[in-house]
Amino acid sequence: MDKLTPEQINEALKSLPGWFYKDGSIRKVFKTKSYPATMGFVTSLGGICQKMNHHPDYVIMKYKEVEVSFSTHSAGGITQKDIEVAEELEKVPV
């Protein structure tokens, strides 16, 4: 996949609330209602990413916060695949 330009990344992120570009990745901090909700979200995230064959870096920051970041390592930056998986994650209830 072709790497997106900074302009293309910024344009794509306009439709993804809370997502931002930093250090070569697109990122979002998801806030949940409880620790069980956090773990459920991480499980859902894993299923979606496995299905799409595109795996994130993520950190459980606090018991009710998960930071997710994507980049396409083989392309050396952000590709349309990163945007597509972010769009899918937006459909997951937190």
Distance CA 17, CA 1 (A): 24
pLDDT at 61: 87
Strands 57-62, 25-31: pairing is unpaired
Mind listing the domains of the chain with CATH numbers?
Answer: 6-89 (3.30.1360.20)
Would you say how long the chain is, in residues? 94
Q: What is the pLDDT of residue 1?
A: 79
Consecutive 10-residue averages of pLDDT for the chain (94 residues): 94 97 96 95 94 92 93 94 96 90
Find out whether 52 and 89 touch, Cβ atoms under 8 Å: no
For β-strands 25-31 and 20-22, DSSP reports them as antiparallel
Check residue 10 and give its pLDDT. 96
CA distances for 46 relative to 7, 16, 50, 58, angstroms: 29, 19, 6, 10
